[in-house]
């Protein structure tokens, strides 16, 4: 016996069954609980330093390393990442979730001031910092 034979022989019953299954699916879908992603503000601070004309190796050894040492002494730092490019170094600090970002920013400024004497004298400006929230970054960027 063919499995589809009863459905082919009774088209009205087949249509009603299909409509019933679709309606049951729609009702079940509307009853599903929806939990949005939690809003988590990761306390993160990015430090930027510039030394025009310096190659990435020089930036890493003379700018990023002293700053990393000074910033690494701040309490509550869970992760430090840095990248150096031509004339620029960026150090990203991530803190414990329980850490107040404003208090952390004050300590970052103090650490930058403490490390200033170890940085090259040719730097046009002091290193700067800004508070960032990685959760605010887009998950996808589409371009045409």
Q: At what angle do helices 65-72 and 101-115 cross, to 10 degrees?
A: 130
pLDDT attached to residue 11: 92
pLDDT attached to residue 1: 66
The verdict on residue 24 lying in a domain is: no
Q: List, as one string, the DSSP characters of 90-113.
A: EEEEEE-TTS-HHHHHHHHHHHHH
Say which CATH number the domain at 62 has: 3.30.70.1430
The verdict on residue 39 lying in a domain is: no
The verdict on residue 103 lying in a domain is: yes
Give the residue numbers spanning the domain of 126: 44-134
The verdict on residue 31 lying in a domain is: no
Mean pLDDT for each 10-residue chunk of the chain (144 residues)? 87 95 95 78 91 90 92 91 93 91 92 90 89 82 86
How far apart CA 91 and CA 107 sit, in angstroms, is 15
Please, how many CA atoms are within 13 Å of residue 99, restricted to the half-sphere of its CB?
23
Longest dimension (CA), the chain: 90
Convert 20-46 to b/e letters by CB count within 10 Å (16 or more is b). Answer: eeeeeeeeeeeeeeeeeeeeeebbbbb
pTM of the predicted protein model: 0.68
The verdict on residue 93 lying in a domain is: yes
The verdict on residue 36 lying in a domain is: no
Q: Considering its fold, how many domains does the chain have in total?
A: 1
The verdict on residue 97 lying in a domain is: yes
Convert 73-100 to b/e letters by CB count within 10 Å (16 or more is b). Answer: ebebbeeeebebeebbbbbbbbbeeebe
């Amino acid at each position: 016996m063919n499995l589809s034979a009863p459905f082919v022989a009774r088209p009205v019953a087949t249509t009603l069954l299909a409509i019933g299954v679709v309606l049951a699916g729609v009702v079940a879908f509307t009853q599903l609980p929806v939990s949005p992603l939690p809003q988590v503000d990761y306390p993160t601070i990015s430090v930027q330093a510039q030394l025009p004309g310096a190659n990435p190796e020089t930036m890493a050894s003379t700018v990023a390393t002293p700053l990393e040492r000074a910033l690494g002494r701040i309490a509550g730092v869970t992760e430090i990442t840095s990248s150096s490019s031509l004339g620029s170094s960026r150090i990203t600090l991530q803190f414990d979730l329980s850490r107040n970002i404003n208090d952390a920013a004050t300590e970052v400024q103090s650490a930058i001031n403490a490390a200033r004497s170890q940085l090259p004298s040719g730097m046009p400006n002091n290193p700067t910092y800004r508070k960032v929230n990685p959760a605010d970054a887009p998950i996808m960027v589409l371009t045409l």
